[in-house]
Amino acid sequence: MYKILRKEFLNPITCLMEVEAPRVARAAKPGQFLIVRATSDGERVPLTVCDYDRDKGTVTIVIQIIGASSRIICSLEEGSCMADVVGPLGQPSEFTHQSIEQIKGERYIFIAGGLGVAPVYPQAKYLHDLGAKVDIIIGAKNSELLILKEEMAAVCDNLYICTDDGSAGEKGLVTEMLAKLVEGGEKYTQAIAIGPMIMMKFVTLTAKKYDLPLVVSLNTLMVDGTGMCGACRVTIGGKTKFACVDGPEFDAYLVDFDEAMRRQGMYRTQESERDHKCKIGIGK
Amino acid sequence: MANKISRVPVREQDPKLRATNFDEVSFGYNREEAMLEASRCLNCKKPACMTACPVSVKIPFFIQKVAEGDFKEAARIISIDSSLPAVCGRVCPQESQCEGSCVLGVKGEPVAIGKLERYVADWSRENGVKFTDKAPANGVKIAVAGSGPAGLACASDLAKMGYDVTIFEGLHKAGGVLEYGIPEFRLPKEKVVAAEVANVKALGVKIETNVVVGRTVTVDELFDQEGFKAVFIAQGAGFPKFMNIPGENLNGVVSANEFLTRNNLMQAYKADSQTPIYVGESVCVVGGGNVAMDAARTALRLGAKSVKIVYRRTEKELPARAEEVHHAKEEGVEFCFLTNPVEVTADDKGWVKGLKCEKMQLGEADASGRRSPEPTGEFIEIETNTVIMSLGTVPNPLIAATTPGLERNRKGGIDATDDGVTSRKGVFAGGDAVTGAATVILAMGAGRKAAKTIDEYIKSLK
Ligand SMILES: Cc1cc2nc3c(=O)[nH]c(=O)nc-3n(C[C@H](O)[C@H](O)[C@H](O)COP(=O)(O)OP(=O)(O)OC[C@H]3O[C@@H](n4cnc5c(N)ncnc54)[C@H](O)[C@@H]3O)c2cc1C
Ligand code: FES
């Protein structure tokens, strides 16, 4: 079970894997995620479903090496197996409940930062396949960290790229690109931003200026991913919600981003100490 | 004669030592101790213990066999009514069930029924005794959602009747609360829980982990695409409650479920586990049930210097098993009674600094005779690094929400009769999924009743 059929490094720190998981592939919808355990003593790591092939019974995931667990996942070889893959989890994107007519009446703009490209892909593909108008902005630190460019180009009408250092596309931030497009006359009716929490926060501030409806996907801490632990608590419109069951996508204007960012860092000291002996946080 | 011997004490790890390790607290009886304790049973004509047992284990009968040293027969007698004796002997609230009704308890101490049950169950496991008589396979497929006590009990009874049973479990490991909730020092995972799961598998039950019913596959798909003829929902009550007080989302506030899952299922207490866990120097656990005791004692074992149970009623109302409260005190857990949290306070980085509480007093008894706590207007702040919320759990709405025609009850659980019949044909439910958080024995009993109901239902289809 959960055999890795294809493994490819998209850049030195980002790995794409196509994994056998027929049940997940059959049920997955855009906007949902899954949880992976590389080995039988591994951590449960939530990852977005980047793509799924129902006939082959596979799901594609993209992992960036940021800590011990993601390093272990990325060290698994093609042909070997993951200990566990469970999903799909969370609510599918709102538009999956809408009719084709409704979808065709919208103009979508996706804003994908860093690894956020992976979850944006199946959403853009779904909408584009139905004939919707879809534009995408990808933001990355530099050209080396820019991933899935061709794939993204194939599922949208216009692809805009910006990098921090100008090594690919335009030099600048996704928020600047968004402002430029809207002020240049693009009439978007729905925006979806997925990326680092801080990016989503600033995209929200920008989108607000233009009254642009915006959805964000929150990558909180998670353990079970089914509503059992509350590790994924976020405040949405003043109310506590569980990102894993109520989300991961929420109306951006209701999200308490500062709290969400602080909560993401709850285990940071231990994560960085993990290669050392002490994993049980006594101090901070 | 019987009354002259006093209750045989059970050997336990020293409290100071055990508060630093995760090994089982109680060593259990040995053969001589068990036989001696069993000899105290008066073998009452009308055994009150049996009536008080939620599944009516034939208690005096098995105890007589223990007294005679015929442990195999004792095990057989228990197995007629209970499919998880090694678990129930360890975690049942005996003081309010069997032992609470024992005649010897009126003047002295009741027979240690739980410890005897545990001895018999451990003896059978160690001696390879199994009761696995099976009817010939009938090829009828039954699905069970959830692998806690309710799901395991239902699945094994159905397998014994010849059904082709598959359990779908959302987590990566089978066992339900026995695996993710109750800690190792109360219920050893490899020795007891894994052995129970292996027994169920030995009956031919298939367990497919990583399948969240309602997400990975729906109940309708189980019927229409996978050929199951009935579905038993045993998803438990895993959704943690919070207090909705200010500061509850600060760093350092976790649900008991999160804390225990990180520690038990994810084994964060082991040096080589990749799952982090945060404890802090001082810990407040809010609540008074078994879950709260487990969280408090786990925090001690992970190195917290001070652990307090914060509970809004008094010691008398603590819903936890008496033994757990006793053990917690011995290990150094402090208790703050009549104390009700109103706010979690923060340091300048958004981490927990303290727990602000209102002192309570017990009011007049209400119609049910229970005195409920009333606010006094006096506030205190307890300094703490961690707050563990242990306020109970409710059933997860996922399966009900994705299964057309499946009604929910007032507690948010699945609406089902005592026999497990729901509003949807072919769908049955039992355990915490129906009642809300309760006990292992009730969940097991519900699973077994549902197995009978499902068998009758399948036969009625022909
Ligand atoms: C920390 C703790 C301590 C406790 N201590 C005691 C004690 O000392 N004595 C006692 O008698 N009781 C105790 N209890 C209560 C007891 O454990 C429960 O009442 C009992 O386990 C309920 O059994 P169940 O089979 O109904 O559900 P559970 O044991 O909760 O099992 C449900 C299973 O279903 C799975 N599941 C949920 N949703 C889905 C889905 N959609 N698809 C597939 N699988 C799903 C869950 O992952 C879980 O494995 C304690 C509970 C906790 C949390
Ligand atoms: S991850 Fe546990 S409740 Fe959301």
**What is the 3-class SS of A5-52, one letter each residue?**
EEEEEEECCEEEEEEECHHHHHHCCCCCEEEEECCCCCCCEEEECCEE
Q: Do B304 and B438 reside in the same domain of the chain?
A: no
Residue B398 to residue A226, Cβ atoms within 8 A: yes
B133 lies in some domain: no
B194 DSSP assignment? I
- Specify whether the CB–CB gap between B265 and B179 falls below 8 A: yes
> pLDDT above 90 covers what percent of chain A?
83
Cα nearest neighbour of A246 on chain B: B398
Give whole-number Cα distances, B165 to A71, B155, B225, B230, in Å. Answer: 38, 6, 16, 10
Q: What is the mean pLDDT of residues B320-349?
A: 95
Nearest C-alpha neighbor of B312 from the set B284, B338, B341, B342: B338
| Stated pTM of the model | 0.94
Give whole-number Cα distances, A123 to A103, A127, A193, B265, in Å. Answer: 12, 6, 11, 33
Q: What is the mean pLDDT of residues A263-280?
A: 66
C-alpha of residue A32 to centroid of ligand 2, in Å: 14
Residue B304 to residue A86, Cβ atoms within 8 A: no
Query: Between A174-183 and A197-209, two packed helices, what is the crossing angle to 10 degrees?
Result: 20
How far apart CA B265 and CA A117 sit, in angstroms, is: 32
Q: Do B95 and B39 reside in the same domain of the chain?
A: yes
pLDDT digits (tens, 9 = 90+) for A230-252: 999 999 999 999 999 999 999 99
Q: Which fold has domain A94-217?
A: Rossmann fold (3.40.50)
Q: Name the residue of B235, B318, B442 to mutate for ligand 1: max ligand atoms within 8 A of Cβ.
A: B235
Q: Determine phi and psi for B240, rounding to 5 degrees.
A: -75, 145
Q: Do B113 and B215 reside in the same domain of the chain?
A: no
C-alpha of residue A242 to centroid of ligand 2, in Å: 6
pLDDT digits (tens, 9 = 90+) for B298-310: 999 999 999 999 9
- Which residues of chain A are within 8 Å of residue B254 when distances are taken between CB atoms? 229-231
Where b means 16+ CB within 10 Å and e means fewer, B105-130 reads beeeebbbbbbbbbbbbbbbbeeeee
Q: Where are the alpha helices (DSSP H) in chain A?
A: 22-27, 68-75, 100-104, 117-129, 149-153, 174-183, 197-209, 243-246, 257-264, 268-273
Cα nearest neighbour of A24 on chain B: B216
Q: Do B379 and B400 reside in the same domain of the chain?
A: no
Sorting pLDDT into bands at 50, 70 and 90, what band is B371? Answer: confident
B179 pLDDT more than 90: yes
Interface-testing mutation among B22, B172, B248, with chain A (most A C-beta atoms within 10 A): B172
Q: Do B230 and B284 reside in the same domain of the chain?
A: no
Smallest CA–CA distance, residue B125 to chain A, in Å, is 26
Smallest CA–CA distance, residue B213 to chain A, in Å, is 10
Q: Do B146 and B179 reside in the same domain of the chain?
A: yes
Sorting pLDDT into bands at 50, 70 and 90, what band is A283? Answer: very low
Q: Determine phi and psi for A244, rounding to 5 degrees.
A: -75, -30
Domain that residue B162 falls in: 141-238+393-461
A277 pLDDT more than 60: no
CB atoms inside a 10 Å sphere around CB A248: 28
Q: Is the CB of A224 under 6 A from ligand 2?
A: yes
pLDDT at A270: 66
Q: Is the CB of A221 under 6 A from ligand 2?
A: no
> Which among B210, B242, B302 has the least Cβ separation from residue A230?
B242
Taking 3-state DSSP, the helix, strand and coil percentages for chain B, each rounded to the nearest 5, stand at 35, 20, 45
Q: Atom 3, ligand 2: which residue's CA is nearest? A: A227
Between positions 383 and 402 of B, the ones with CB within 8 A of A are 385, 396, 398
Interface-testing mutation among A221, A228, A255, with chain B (most B C-beta atoms within 10 A): A228
A5 pLDDT more than 60: yes
Domain boundary, last residue among B369, B389, B409: B389
pLDDT digits (tens, 9 = 90+) for A145-193: 999 999 999 999 999 999 999 998 899 999 999 999 999 999 999 999 9
pLDDT at B372: 86
A284 pLDDT more than 80: no
* Ramachandran class of B56: left when φ > 0, alpha when ψ lies in -120 to 50, beta otherwise: left
A273 pLDDT more than 90: no
CATH number at residue B106: 1.10.1060.10
C-alpha of residue B19 to centroid of ligand 2, in Å: 29
Interchain CB contact of B255 with A (< 8 Å): yes
Domain boundary, last residue among B360, B389, B418: B389
Beta bridge partners of A138: A112, A161
pLDDT digits (tens, 9 = 90+) for A40-97: 888 999 998 999 999 999 999 999 998 888 899 999 999 999 999 999 999 999 999 9
Smallest CA–CA distance, residue B7 to chain A, in Å, is 40
Q: Do B77 and B197 reside in the same domain of the chain?
A: no
Sorting pLDDT into bands at 50, 70 and 90, what band is B86? Answer: very high
B251 DSSP assignment? B
How far apart CA B239 and CA B192 sit, in angstroms, is: 25
How many Å from the N-terminal Cα to the C-terminal Cα in chain B?
A: 57
How far apart CA A17 and CA A80 sit, in angstroms, is: 11
Q: What is the mean pLDDT of residues B413-419?
A: 96
Q: Does domain A2-89 have CATH number 3.40.640.10?
A: no
pLDDT at B191: 94
Sorting pLDDT into bands at 50, 70 and 90, what band is B271? Answer: confident
Q: Do B22 and B74 reside in the same domain of the chain?
A: yes
Sketch the domain layout of chain A as residue ranges.
2-89, 94-217
Q: Is the CB of A225 under 6 A from ligand 2?
A: yes
Q: How many domains does chain B have?
A: 3
CB atoms inside a 10 Å sphere around CB A264: 16
Query: Between B59-68 and B71-81, two packed helices, what is the crossing angle to 10 degrees?
Result: 170
Q: Do B187 and B229 reside in the same domain of the chain?
A: yes
Smallest CA–CA distance, residue B380 to chain A, in Å, is 24
How far apart CA A99 and CA A65 sit, in angstroms, is: 38
What is the helix (H) or strand (E) element at residue B104, kind and residue range? helix B104-107
* Residue bearing tokens 């009730």: B442
Query: Between B59-68 and B113-126, two packed helices, what is the crossing angle to 10 degrees?
Result: 60
ipTM rounded to 2 decimals: 0.92
CATH number at residue B266: 3.50.50.60
- Which residues of chain A are within 8 Å of residue B273 when distances are taken between CB atoms? 41, 43, 279
Residue B278 to residue A266, Cβ atoms within 8 A: yes
pLDDT digits (tens, 9 = 90+) for B106-137: 999 999 999 999 999 999 999 998 887 889 99
Q: Atom 2, ligand 2: which residue's CA is nearest? A: A229
B39 lies in some domain: yes
B418 lies in some domain: yes
**Residue B398 corresponds to which tokens in the numbers above?**
């996922």
> Which among A27, A266, A281 has the least Cβ separation from residue B215?
A27
Residue B251 to residue A245, Cβ atoms within 8 A: no
Q: Do B374 and B429 reside in the same domain of the chain?
A: no
B369 pLDDT more than 90: no
